[in-house]
């Protein structure tokens, strides 16, 4: 299983009610740094399968979610555990940096 495409309709079930910790990538098609971060997020989704759920929210298509979670710049990664935000990273970062954050929450 790779990333789950998230939207207003499935966010609660896929993220807030998830038994696994969830990494949510808030992104947009036109965002250059998002294109840099996206392959890293995809790799982590595969490497941590069964331990971490990874989802993507297109902020242009899901304004309500972006607003609800205070997304001011993208890419933003938010980490959810037990239905609550437990951490975040803003901006593109190397895989090692993102992975270090993932390990804090799994």
- What is the chain's length? 106
Helix (H, G, I), strand (E, B) or coil at 63: helix
Dihedral of the CA atoms 68, 18, 2, 25 (nearest 10)?
A: 20
Task: Give me the pLDDT at residue 41, please.
Answer: 96
Residues paired with 24 in a beta bridge: 55, 78
Q: From the candidates 6, 15, 34, 44, which is the catalytic residue? A: 34
Question: Among residues 31, 44, 52, 74, which one is catalytic?
Answer: 31
Is position 4 annotated as part of the catalytic site? Answer: no
Q: Does 73 have pLDDT greater than 70? A: yes
Q: 31 an active-site residue? A: yes
Mean pLDDT of the chain: 96
Kindly tell me if the per-residue pLDDT of 99 is higher than 80.
Answer: yes
* Residue 17 pLDDT: 97
User: Can you give the pLDDT at residue 1?
Assistant: 54
pLDDT of 2 reads: 79
23 CB-side CA count, 13 A? 32
pLDDT at 70 over 90: yes
- What predicted TM-score, i.e. pTM, was given to this entire model? 0.96
In the predicted structure, residue 81 carries a pLDDT above the cut 90? yes
Arithmetic mean of pLDDT, 36-51: 96
């Amino acid at each position: 299983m790779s990333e789950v495409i998230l939207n207003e309709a499935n966010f609660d079930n896929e993220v807030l009610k998830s038994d696994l910790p969830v990494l949510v990538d808030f992104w947009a098609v036109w965002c250059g740094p998002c294109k840099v971060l996206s392959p890293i997020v995809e790799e982590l989704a595969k490497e941590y399968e069964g331990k971490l759920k990874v989802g993507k929210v297109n902020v242009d298509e899901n304004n309500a979610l972006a607003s609800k979670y205070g997304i001011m710049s993208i890419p933003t990664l938010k980490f959810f555990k037990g239905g609550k935000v437990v951490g975040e990273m803003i901006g593109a970062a190397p895989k090692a940096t993102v992975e270090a954050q993932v390990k804090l929450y799994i």
